[in-house]
Amino acid sequence: MVEAQEKFDEMENIEQSEFLFANMKRTYDQYQTLDARILQDAQTNSQNIQNVALQVLQNAVETANMVSKQAVRHGDLAIDRQWNVDEQGYTVADILNDSKFQDAIATALAKITADMVAK
3-state helix, strand, coil in the chain (%, to 5): 95, 0, 5
pLDDT per position in the chain (119 positions), as tens? 667 667 666 667 667 777 777 778 888 888 888 888 888 888 888 899 999 999 999 999 999 999 988 888 888 877 776 666 665 556 677 777 888 888 998 999 999 999 889 87
